[in-house]
A = this chain, B = another copy of it.
Amino acid sequence: MRTAFHGQLESLTELLSSMCGLAGLAMERATQALLKADLAMSEQVITDHDQLTEMQTRAEEAAFALLALQAPVAGDLRLVVGSLQNVANAERMGGLALHVAKIARRRHPSYTLPDKVHGYFAEMGRIAVELGNSARDVVLSHDPDQAARISDEDDAMNDLHQRLFSAVLDEEWEDGVTAAVDVTLLGRFYERSADHAVEIGRRVVFEATGQTVSD
């Protein structure tokens, strides 16, 4: 009985890990779509998002079944509850990639980004993908130290986001209101994506140790 239970728990963990990986991949593609005004890439991110939503439903059902049929306790219970909470975080990371792709599609065939902020988004995209991959890995490894390090990568994202924001609000911004609005929203999407990865890391720390990580 415990073996079947642990097999199901492992399946849930793998499903959640795959969701994080897919969310990272979606952000990678959305960033490419944005930087290269690549319509096909935007469309792919938009189409692929349904898969993530469907995985979310499956993962929630699996977690629910584990609670209902197996009544886990202690570390196992923390793992099921943490997974249930992290499924929502992984789906949101994917949802934010979807928003990025939609903005890129809306501006096609024009480029969404003024040249001067191109570098910020290349870097924010790189960090977002790394964070998605880190989330994917720690969900599987259950390693609290690795999970806690996700915050360090988030610090880099917050710093970039802050500098991007200053660039838009600088008096020398000459790219007009539409570009400013797009850049503001896009910056917010990348920053939020990183926050969800941090949240996933926090839950993994809690699952592994029973301790909550403070801000």
On A, residues with C-beta under 8 Å from B are 57, 63-64, 67-68, 71, 73-74, 77-78, 81, 84-85, 88, 165, 168-169, 173, 177-178, 180-181, 184-185, 188, 212
Contacts and interface: CB of A to CB of B under 8 A. Distances in A.
Contacts of A177: 168-169, 173, 177, 180
A54 to B, nearest CB: 12
Given A177-B173, A181-B168, A184-B181, A77 B84 contact: no
21 contacts: A64-B81, A67-B67, A67-B81, A84-B84, A85-B85, A85-B88, A88-B88, A165-B181, A168-B181, A169-B177, A169-B178, A173-B177, A177-B177, A177-B180, A180-B180, A180-B181, A181-B184, A184-B184, A184-B185, A185-B188, A188-B188
A73 to B, nearest CB: 6
Contacts of A63: 81
Q: Would you list the 4 A-B pairs with minimal beta carbon distance, nearest first?
A: A71-B71, A177-B180, A181-B184, A184-B184
B188 A169 contact: no
A85 B177 CA distance: 38
Contacts of A64: 77-78, 81
A63 B84 CA distance: 13
